[in-house]
Structure 1
Amino acid sequence: MTAKKILVAEDSSVIQNITKKVLQFQNFDIKSAKNGQQVLKMIEKEDFAAILMDINMPILDGMSCAKKIRSLDDSTKANVPIIAITGNAQNYTMDDFKDAGINDYLPKPLNFDKLVLTVKKYAQ
């Protein structure tokens, strides 16, 4: 069975590395990006089972990036599940996330059991 590819978009190396290790332990194949612009370049080249998207990233933030993904011509790529990761979830409502095309969100500090369950729920 091929490992499902998950894209972790997070500008914090620490969070990115821990998330990567936790998900690799669950047999996911992890790619990572530091900003929304890198996410868009990577999604052009390969398909992902899900994207973990930090909301506050340099160059192109998670909300804007999610909207750009949802407007892609390739429907497989445009419909990839996007899970927001945010340290200030109280600044957004689930409606804000849904309007941007985000399927779900995880607050920081990350609960790694919830991270694994959420990724498994969407990465099918």
Structure 2
Amino acid sequence: MKKIIIAEDSSVIQNLTKKILQIQNFSIIAVKNGQEVLDVLNKEDFDLILMDINMPKMDGMECAKQIRNLTDPIKSKIPILAITGNAKNYSINDFKEVGINEYIPKPLNFDLLVDKVKLYTEQDD
């Protein structure tokens, strides 16, 4: 079973995303900020990170940057999909620069989300 971290400070979006991905047979760990992403990543391996950009303590951009700088060659290459309502503040180049693979705008289109998650988690199979 593929394991995904959902980093999202809105519990409504977090719970909805979690349910939808669990139905698709993904194992989900949900966290509220970038620091928590790094903490769980430190303990376990994951196949994908869904990352909200605007989070307290450490935002998605900074978190992505830190993940890409990890010394672990597998963890530093985990696909990161950004979820954001403020994509207009960033260009796709800004996302690429910190190592985010792709972004999905809010309000979330869950069909698109599931398609992207499957696309990025099936690359290794």
User: Structure 1 length normalisation: TM-score?
Assistant: 0.97
- What residue in structure 2 maps to residue 104 of structure 1? 102
- What residue in structure 1 maps to residue 30 of structure 2? 32
CA-based RMSD of the aligned residues comes to: 0.5
Please tell me the residue identity of whatever aligns with 1:51: I
C-alpha separation between the residues in 2 aligned to 1:100 and 1:121?
21
Q: Alignment partner for residue 15 of structure 1, among 13, 37, 43? A: 13
In structure 2, stretches of 5+ residues that fail to align are none
Aligned: 1:77 with 2:75: yes
In structure 1, stretches of 5+ residues that fail to align are none
Q: SS at 1:18's partner residue?
A: helix
- What residue in structure 2 maps to residue 66 of structure 1? 64
For this pair of structures, how many residues does the alignment match?
A: 122
Please tell me the residue identity of whatever aligns with 1:30: I
Shift of 1:90: 1.1
C-alpha separation between the residues in 2 aligned to 1:123 and 1:56?
24
Shift of 1:73: 0.3
Aligned: 1:117 with 2:115: yes
C-alpha separation between the residues in 1 aligned to 2:95 and 2:80?
10
Please tell me the residue identity of whatever aligns with 2:48: A
